[in-house]
Amino acid sequence: MKHWAIVLLLLFVYGCKDSTFKNNTSVINEEIILPDTTLIPNDEFGKAVAYGRQLLLNTAYYIGPEGINGKYLGNKMNCTNCHQQAGTKPFSFNLMKSHERYPQYRARENTVITLAQRVNNCVQRPHNGKPLPLDSKEMIAILSYLKWINSFVVKVDSFVGSKNLSIKFPAVAASPERGAQLYTIHCQRCHGADGEGIYTADSSGYTYPPLWGKLAYQPGSSMHRVIMQAKWIKANMPHDLATWQKPVLTDTEALDIAAFVNNDDIHQRNQPQTFDYTNPKTKAIDYGKGPYVDTFSEVQHKYGPYQPIIDYWISKGLKPSY
Ligand code: HEC
Ligand code: HEC
């Protein structure tokens, strides 16, 4: 065969791989799924789904400190403040796969937990609340809603935004000082100079939720982890400008701001009664509370540089999570 023919053949083979094979899989893998709420069934189950959706959107109104259907939460944040669009927005702690992912082993509790227990973890940590009874109308509604949004997920490994955006780690530690300046530029106009947020007109919830203080999430919440928060704000904040396709903040800026927001020496928060992760081998590397399986300090775990910690874990045959 002449040289040019071989080249053409190779081009053809690779061309096929690229355009047909790869594109086909990516079409399935990269679907964006937004459940159509007009399809909520018109029956008893559908009523539970619809109430569950309302609970995610207006959590404080129903079950907040002055909730009309029960007083469970310790603050007036709504689930949707973090799990945006009632858990369906890509790269915003998306909840569409949750129903099929539980019961699941959780590193924090070092045991297998159900989805209902996982929901209560968020009621207790970011919302500083007391757990919803497992047989309450509210818990059943939230679980029904999570089951319903899961029914839109094609059974593939992943869809766009089911996980968080990833972050590249700089060689230096995240800096609360640089973060403070960036906060003034990018965040303060909505979340306030003191991170206090702004209530809605009837104070039943927030137009701009708080980022620290007694009414914000507590340090036991995963939002308090610097890497975890940086991935989220990169895709979602500033609220009116950033999209996951076009973030406003660089990775380093997102980490610096998360370091500032989550620095408890600068900002007060409600302290949890217990810090969990009883098994240090499964502790997220950006969890700022020891003991650890390595000798890196709490400060380095919280603010980085993270790469040396990750490299150390891998060299010991451990699996770092972050
Ligand atoms: C301050 C932010 C915040 C608020 C408010 C919040 N959560 Fe979460 N939630 C998180 C974070 C962070 C995670 C962990 C995400 C991860 O591991 O990728 C999480 C995880 C979850 C999960 C587990 C998802 C999975 O598939 O493993 C569920 C379910 C959940 N939240 C439900 C709720 C519900 C219901 C509410 C309202 C009652 C709520 N959350 C309020 C931040 C929040
Ligand atoms: C234009 C107003 C606006 C700006 C600017 C903005 N946010 Fe937000 N932020 C919001 C709104 C609104 C929500 C609630 C999202 C929802 O309910 O969909 C939110 C939610 C959040 C949350 C999760 C809920 C909570 O209170 O813990 C965090 C964290 C956050 N923002 C951080 C930031 C950071 C960091 C910046 C700056 C980089 C920023 N935001 C800039 C409006 C804004």
pLDDT tens digits for range 165-180: 999 999 999 999 999 9
* pLDDT number for residue 110: 84
Contact 61, 199 (CB under 8 A): no
**Domain end call among 122, 150, 178:** 150
Query: Is the Cα dihedral 12, 15, 19, 25 positive or negative?
Result: positive
* pLDDT number for residue 154: 78
d(CA 284, CA 224): 12
For residue 189, give both structure tokens.
């106009």
Torsional class of 113: left (φ above 0), alpha (ψ -120 to 50), beta (otherwise): beta
In this structure, are 228 and 288 located in the same domain?
yes
In this structure, are 172 and 321 located in the same domain?
yes
Does a cis peptide bond (omega within 30 degrees of 0) precede residue 238?
yes
In this structure, are 107 and 182 located in the same domain?
no
In this structure, are 108 and 212 located in the same domain?
no
Which candidate, 156, 127, 143, 113, places its Cα nearest to that of 59? 127
Amino acid (1-letter code) at residue 141: A
**Domain end call among 150, 178, 193:** 150
d(CA 130, CA 289): 23
DSSP one-letter string for 95-154: -TTHHHH-SEEETTTTEEE-HHHHHHHHHHTTT---PPPTTSHHHHHHHHHHHHHHTTS-
For the Cβ of 210 lying below 6 angstroms from any atom of ligand 2, the answer is yes
Q: What is the extent of the structural domain holding 136?
A: 37-150
77 assigned to some structural domain: yes
In this structure, are 128 and 106 located in the same domain?
yes
Helix (H, G, I), strand (E, B) or coil at 53: helix
67 assigned to some structural domain: yes
* pLDDT number for residue 158: 67
For the Cβ of 238 lying below 6 angstroms from any atom of ligand 2, the answer is yes
Closest residue to atom 40 of ligand 1, CA basis: 122
| Mutation pick for ligand 1 pocket among 63, 76, 77, 82 (CB with most ligand atoms within 8 Å) | 82
158 assigned to some structural domain: no
Q: How far is the CA of 3 from the centre of ligand 1 (A)?
A: 58
CATH code of the domain containing 197:
1.10.760.10
Segment 22-31, tens digit of pLDDT: 333 333 445 7
In this structure, are 143 and 173 located in the same domain?
no
26 assigned to some structural domain: no
d(CA 125, CA 220): 6
In this structure, are 142 and 173 located in the same domain?
no
13 assigned to some structural domain: no
d(CA 303, CA 218): 18
Query: Is the Cα dihedral 93, 94, 98, 101 positive or negative?
Result: negative
Give the number of the atom of ligand 1 that is nearest the alpha carbon of residue 164: 18
Q: Which segments of the chain have a pLDDT < 50?
A: 1-29
* pLDDT number for residue 14: 36
Q: What angle do CA 31, 241, 145 make, to 5 degrees?
A: 45
| Mutation pick for ligand 1 pocket among 93, 95, 158 (CB with most ligand atoms within 8 Å) | 93
For the Cβ of 81 lying below 6 angstroms from any atom of ligand 2, the answer is yes
In this structure, are 175 and 123 located in the same domain?
no
d(CA 270, CA 215): 8
Closest residue to atom 15 of ligand 2, CA basis: 81
Find the helix or strand (DSSP H, E) in which 299 lies: helix 298-303
Closest residue to atom 2 of ligand 1, CA basis: 82
**Domain end call among 121, 150, 179:** 150
* Closest ligand relative to 197 C-alpha: 2
Contact 195, 260 (CB under 8 A): no
Which residue ranges have their beta carbon within 6 Å of ligand 1?
A: 56, 59, 77, 79, 81-83, 93, 95, 97-98, 101, 118-119, 122-123, 126-127, 142, 164, 217, 221-223, 228
Rg (CA), the chain: 22
d(CA 266, CA 5): 68
57 assigned to some structural domain: yes
50 assigned to some structural domain: yes
Give the number of the atom of ligand 1 that is nearest the alpha carbon of residue 229: 12
Amino acid (1-letter code) at residue 147: K
When divided into structural domains, the chain yields a total of 2
In this structure, are 287 and 175 located in the same domain?
yes
Q: What is the DSSP letter of 41?
A: -
d(CA 148, CA 157): 19
In this structure, are 125 and 218 located in the same domain?
no
In this structure, are 222 and 291 located in the same domain?
yes
Q: How far is the CA of 273 from the centre of ligand 1 (A)?
A: 19
31 assigned to some structural domain: no
In this structure, are 45 and 88 located in the same domain?
yes
Q: How far is the CA of 122 from the centre of ligand 1 (A)?
A: 5
* pLDDT number for residue 275: 67
d(CA 278, CA 122): 18
